[in-house]
Amino acid sequence: MKHLIDAKELSPEYVERLIASAEDIISAPGSYSDRCRGRILATLFYEPSTRTRLSFESAMLGLGGQTLGFSSADSSSASKGESVADTIRMVSCYADICAMRHPKEGSALVASMHSGIPVINAGDGGHQHPTQTLTDLMTIHSVKKKLDGLSVGLCGDLRFGRTVHSLIHALSKHKNNSFILVSPDELKIPDYLREEMIKGGVRFTETEDLKQSIKEMDVIYMTRVQKERFFNEEDYVRLKDSYILNRQKLSQAKKDLAVMHPLPRVNEISTEVDDDPRSVYFDQARYGRFVRMALILDLLS
């Protein structure tokens, strides 16, 4: 049985195939509208979500399938103390595939070990978010026409930002990419990831200076400081506005920079940047539906 748990599973060939499939769906949606007739997607969301859950549901509906699920832990038996392992055993009887978001790192992996249906990790704590990476890669591919040879800046909460960890894993598999990691000291990438990057020969630099480093970037990926992962409010308040990308900072950047953000944004990108032709964060949200359609089709095949 196929699952998608970790962005390390996203080989360049697999990504290329999913993007091609998503592009085909965009160009001829009608020919896909019956492909999942009679199939059910369960969305098990123990943590808040807007884009991921709705785009998964919209993806399944667009394929002619149906959806069921819950959108908070309170409305599931988790509130009674049921384990993920037991829940997924039940859900395997009611659905053909599931997308799961959970605050605990590793929970999607645990679910996949007890599941009778494909499990898609829709975010496990501060660890991974591989389907966000698929939509990120599709966006980069659409503007840069390639996924290699890029200088990619990641800025903000690199410690808890799961989309950052997944994107680094996936882009590291493509040739000649390098990373500029911009964050305050307390929000640097986790040690395990830094060690993996060094071991894998991935080129990267770490800095606190966005103003200078933005000049070198082909892509900038801004991220929200992940309030829900902080132990105390004070630290969050102190760090939350560490970086705000505005028109003035962008004036120093390359003319063909791609400005990305997994959303939701709080203050990380000033709204005055929304009209800049380099801003592609709403495209990321749009592609999410199609690339998830491609993924569902692949995992159910």
Contact positions vs ligand ASP (CB under 6 A)? 123, 129, 132, 162-163, 224, 262
Tell me how far, at minimum, the Cβ of 135 lies from ligand ASP, in Å. 10
> Smaller CB distance to ligand ASP: residue 92 or 223?
223
How far apart are the C-alpha atoms of 55 and 226, rounded to whole Å?
Answer: 21
Tell me how far, at minimum, the Cβ of 91 lies from ligand ASP, in Å. 21
Rounded to 5 degrees, φ, ψ at 74 are -60, -30
> Smaller CB distance to ligand ASP: residue 172 or 284?
284
Report the first-to-last Cα separation within the chain, whole angstroms: 10
How far apart are the C-alpha atoms of 298 and 301, rounded to whole Å?
Answer: 5
DSSP 15-83: HHHHHHHHHHHHH-GGGGTTTTTT-EEEEEESS--SHHHHHHHHHHHHTT-EEEEESSGGGSGGGGT--
Burial class (CB in 10 A: 0-12, 13-18, 19+), 280: buried
Closest C-alpha among 209, 210, 242, 211 to residue 225: 242
- CB distance 160 to 224 below 8 Å: no
Tell me how far, at minimum, the Cβ of 224 lies from ligand ASP, in Å. 4
> Smaller CB distance to ligand ASP: residue 96 or 157?
157
- CB distance 165 to 7 below 8 Å: yes
C-alpha 114: how far from its chain's center?
A: 24
Tell me how far, at minimum, the Cβ of 259 lies from ligand ASP, in Å. 16
Pairing of strands 97-102, 40-45: parallel
Tell me how far, at minimum, the Cβ of 262 lies from ligand ASP, in Å. 4
> Smaller CB distance to ligand ASP: residue 3 or 224?
224
Extract the tokens encoding 106: 């590793």
> Smaller CB distance to ligand ASP: residue 181 or 297?
181
Q: Which residues are part of the catalytic machinery? A: 51-52, 80, 101, 129
Tally Cβ neighbours within 10 Å of residue 281.
19
Tell me how far, at minimum, the Cβ of 132 lies from ligand ASP, in Å. 6
Among the residues of the chain, which ranges form H helices? 12-27, 51-62, 84-94, 107-114, 130-144, 162-172, 191-199, 210-213, 233-239, 247-250, 281-300
> Smaller CB distance to ligand ASP: residue 178 or 183?
183
